[in-house]
Structure 1
Amino acid sequence: MSKNRNAPALPPLPGVAGQHVLITAGASGIGFAIAQELHAQGARVAICDVDRAALAHAADSLTGCLACHGDVTDAGAMDAVFGDLMQRFGQLDVLVNNAGIAGPTAQIEDISEEEWRACLDVCLTGQYMATRRAVPLLKAAGGGAIVNMSSAAGKHGYAYRTPYSAAKFGVIGLTQSLAKELGPHNIRVNAILPGFVEGPRMDGVIARKAEVAGLSVDAMRDEYLAAVSLRRMVSAQDVARTVCFLVSDAGANLSGQSLAVDGNVEYLT
């Protein structure tokens, strides 16, 4: 369990209040935690997600939040999301590319082409789909920030999770390339690499990996924690607060960086 799960409210960070922010897959999990933290900092928040029920809950929870149904792999849906965003806010200052899926857990010869493509489409191509629409708006605003969600699997090989790891390594390349391309336009681009984030999604990952490895769920969980220097998982809030720092004035000179929020994952089992 994350040590600071019930951490006190984050003090105001300079430059966040009033920013116009879009978070993909922002209705639950890490994305919703990011939306909550930025909203609490005074940002104007828009989220898109494929889960209509979660979107409705998020919209009810965050006063003034723009909640749009949209799949990051669908060009028409993304056009609609950005159209709604500009109609409501008229400006974009921050894009958080958070959408991702776990993908299959299997030996490479047992992973179908459909499973492979689906994982890369959401985790990597989805970031391109949002970014290509966001960049003209960020340039028009005089600059801004993009935060791309990678993973500990974006710096360590991950047996039986090859599509996911390949996509998350790709996010690092995307981030570093965009930082160079967009820096002259005052647009900062960074990646966050969460480690083992406590919650239902991680529980499912551990259960599937335990099945493949022929271990109990408890034994597999112990193996995961043994790979972390701090011997604990992180929380979605830990990741969200790092996003807040990156898009604030306190992070004004951070670009092209890959920040691990993981308790120092030493390897992936």
Structure 2
Amino acid sequence: MAQRVMITAGASGIGLAIAKAFANNGAKVSVCDFDERALGEVAQFHPQISAAHVDVSNEKAVDQWFDKTMGDLGGIDVLVNNAGAKGPTGNVEDIALDDWRQCVSVCLDSHFLCARRAARPMKEQKSGNIINISSTAGLYGYGLRTPYAAAKWAVIGLTKSLAIELGPYDVRANAICPGSVEGPRMQRVIKAEADGRGISADVVAKEYTQSQSIKRFVTPEEIADMCVFLASPAAKMVTGQAIAVDGHTETFHIGS
């Protein structure tokens, strides 16, 4: 039977790569996203992927998406919590509480809201996979990006706790910690840091890759490959893990 997969923030970047990878493996895939323009382009990439406009930090919107999508798919086998926000860039004393809360709401609350809805049906069918997208920032911390780093650390705590709760039902939960992933979002992160530090974007970009054993950015497809593996029978005893896909971070990049 085809896997039934739900992916948040799946209309572009890492999320779209994950959606395409599952669809290419024969899964039935539904994505949601807040970016209406990107949602309009999803069908052009793969007609098997359904899409919906959802604010995943909003409890009611998440519940409505799950109610409709689980009805359309006939259930859920895989949840990929990919939604995130880069949050503000700056010294902690300069960060506004509203900016902190908005970042944590998207990066953490959305994972909780979706995992909460996926847990019951997965427990009832005694199978399923929850894959949370954290970050190497959730392993090392991240100077000038404290809201983002705090949320990504919390995602790992959520993941390990889910693994404990759901393991007796043969439901697995893992976190993927991408390093620096190539694409427009990373370019925006680099520009914001460069502007804040008064240096060029090229210098900041080089700092990121020089801190890795494999000195290049990760591709979205490499994150997608790990998601497909974790949701496969080949990983049936892998749960509660925070797995870095980052070319091996030797010294984590810390802006100053």
Matches within 5 A, 1:1-269: 18-266=2-250, 267-269=252-254
Cα distance in structure 2, aligned partners of 1:60 and 1:140: 35
Secondary structure in structure 1 of the residue aligned to 2:196 = helix
Return the TM-score normalized by structure 2.
0.96
Q: Deviations over 1:177-220 (max 9, x none)?
A: 11011000110000000000011111111111111222111111
> Aligned AA for 2:149?
S
Q: Is contact 2:89–2:145 with CA below 8 Å preserved after alignment?
A: yes
Query: Equivalent residue for 1:4?
Result: none
Cα distance in structure 2, aligned partners of 1:220 and 1:61: 32
Q: Deviations over 1:21-64 (max 9, x none)?
A: 00000111100000000000000001111112211211342223
The percent of aligned pairs where both chains have the same amino acid is 47
Cα distance in structure 2, aligned partners of 1:66 and 1:138: 21
**Aligned length, in residue pairs:** 253
Cα distance in structure 1, aligned partners of 2:204 and 2:62: 38
5+ unaligned residues in a row in structure 1: which ranges?
1-16
Shift in Å, 1:225: 1.2
Q: Is contact 1:91–1:141 with CA below 8 Å preserved after alignment?
A: no
5+ unaligned residues in a row in structure 2: which ranges?
none
Secondary structure in structure 1 of the residue aligned to 2:70 = helix
Return the TM-score normalized by structure 1.
0.92
> Aligned AA for 2:106?
V
Q: Deviations over 1:127-147 (max 9, x none)?
A: 001111111121233211000
Give the number of the structure with larger relative contact order, counting CA–CA contacts within 8 Å between residues 6 or more apart: 1
Secondary structure in structure 1 of the residue aligned to 2:140 = coil
Shift in Å, 1:109: 1.1
Q: Is contact 1:92–1:141 with CA below 8 Å preserved after alignment?
A: no
Q: Is contact 1:27–1:58 with CA below 8 Å preserved after alignment?
A: yes
Cα distance in structure 2, aligned partners of 1:135 and 1:60: 32
Q: Which runs of 4+ in 1 moved over 3 A?
A: none
Cα distance in structure 2, aligned partners of 1:212 and 1:52: 30
Query: Equivalent residue for 1:9?
Result: none
Q: Is contact 1:157–1:268 with CA below 8 Å preserved after alignment?
A: no
> Aligned AA for 2:253?
L
Q: Is contact 2:207–2:253 with CA below 8 Å preserved after alignment?
A: no
RMSD: 1.0
